[in-house]
Structure 1
């Protein structure tokens, strides 16, 4: 019988001698699936810069996936009145959004000539077709039944998005949580059609004004937990705004005002998106504090 080398057993490893013998693939590969990730890039042009575009875009998709996970986790926690768990997930998402924004850096300084070398490889592909980004937008209240149309021939994806369309978004769960704490959130807002885009409501603005105006109140009338939640959402809202502006600026630098891929209007469409704020009353209430 051939003795098993000491390095074949993790328990036999010393602090400075890692285990190098495995019966199959490495545990790292089994857990991370790194070889799958590193073989997902299939450039369609001869330009070496296309690899950067592909990897950066795929990294963004991974961040979208993680953010959807965090915000769905936060929404469930709020439904269960577990604010610490909700704030933990939202807090993680702040750092993840910062990393998502940093993902623009490899593409932020593309010149038109550099982008044109592989732009034709995209064909009709466009970022607005990203199903995971659509789920992210739905969670932020940016809902529209029309945005399901691109996925009508992909049943599994369509079903996931349709479910997300009709479920309460993150902000809806925040407002329901505030209502259960005694804040006068309007019934029309709480009972709204969840498949429609969230629009600002003066009654919700009044709730946030009440929360922020009572900050540090000596009589103890302030709601410190609501204030902390509001500030975390404000941080998220600011980073979403920065994401949209980073997208706008990178696109403007790479292609100017030319039409975008996939039939979008390119910069003109992104400019409209960049002017919108998520969690709108958190921003407008500040004008009245």
Structure 2
């Protein structure tokens, strides 16, 4: 007698009947583009090359590679938003700025994963990192430049990468997103000092009394200046998300390495804490006290 749990030889008919139901999905991709082809998954999933024998290094690599991918999308959206503000297309710009804020919030939670790495686990891979450091991320630096936190000294870090250096130099010398927003206010009939509208653009933003007065007018007359009011709030959302991202960064670093110097030569947590004091859009936060 045949065992009730044994599998008899399947005939072509029974094999077809037992085949999984893929609901009409295509199964043969010998000639057509597949999901993996479209996303270049072989390249992406083959781009992790741990240097240490430690199990936890893959986490460290994936954390930073995925962050760089999100930053690539942020730059795409920020460049688009800047162009739309300059062209008077404020609704399109606001959609892009909202997306960037959402990406930053995504990256805030990404630190939760890296925070599972304990100090002994990080110490096991640190000797293999050399002088590499997140401080050297040219994409992060370009995001800062586009948002107005500019420092020409940081260009020196990227002289060995001509394409990255050129992109940063361009972002340094062009108006930031906030500069473009201020020029949009001036085009809308609000009084802004000419000196604030003429550049140069390669310096960090400083609070300007005429800009504060103009934004205050917008907030006190929202019906008259509704598009500018909405833009201002999207900028506040963006800076709020950026501050949370930076704060989560410094707390994760302190949790994992304490107050050790950074691998790139910075003072580590001390440097990151100083960055928490940077305000990107000062007048938009200052005016709230007076409203």
Q: Normalising by structure 1, report the TM-score.
A: 0.90
Instruction: Please tell me whether residue 267 in structure 1 is matched to residue 274 in structure 2.
Output: no
Q: Is the 8 A contact 1:108 1:249 kept in 2?
A: no
The number of residue pairs the alignment matches comes to 271
- Compute the displacement of 1:18 (Å): 0.6
Q: Is the 8 A contact 1:53 1:107 kept in 2?
A: yes
Structure 1's consecutive aligned runs of 4 or more residues displaced over 3 angstroms after TM superposition are none
Instruction: Please tell me whether residue 283 in structure 1 is matched to residue 290 in structure 2.
Output: no
Q: Which runs of 5+ in 2 are unaligned?
A: 1-20
| C-alpha RMSD of matched pairs (Å) | 1.6
2:5 maps to: none
1:8 maps to: none
- Compute the displacement of 1:109 (Å): 4.1
Greater CA radius of gyration, 1 or 2? Answer: 2
> Alignment partner for residue 64 of structure 1, among 64, 67, 71?
71
- Compute the displacement of 1:81 (Å): 0.5
> For 1:212 and 1:27, how far apart are their aligned partners in 2?
51
- Compute the displacement of 1:110 (Å): 3.1
1:146 maps to: 153
> For 1:28 and 1:111, how far apart are their aligned partners in 2?
36
2:235 maps to: 233
> For 2:210 and 2:115, how far apart are their aligned partners in 1?
40
1:182 maps to: 189
> Alignment partner for residue 253 of structure 1, among 249, 252, 255?
255
Q: Which runs of 5+ in 1 are unaligned?
A: 1-13
1:52 maps to: 59
2:115 maps to: 108
Q: Counterparts in 2 of 1:11-90, with a 5 A limit?
A: 16-24=23-31, 26-90=33-97
Structure 1 range deviating more: 102-111 or 39-48: 102-111
2:204 maps to: 197
> For 1:230 and 1:265, how far apart are their aligned partners in 2?
34
> For 1:255 and 1:264, how far apart are their aligned partners in 2?
13
> For 1:152 and 1:93, how far apart are their aligned partners in 2?
28
Q: Is the 8 A contact 2:63 2:110 kept in 1?
A: yes
> Once the two structures are superposed, what CA deviation does each residue of 1:116-169 show, in whole Å capped at 9, x if it has no partner?
111112110110100111110100111111111011122222112111111111
> For 2:145 and 2:161, how far apart are their aligned partners in 1?
18
1:244 maps to: 246
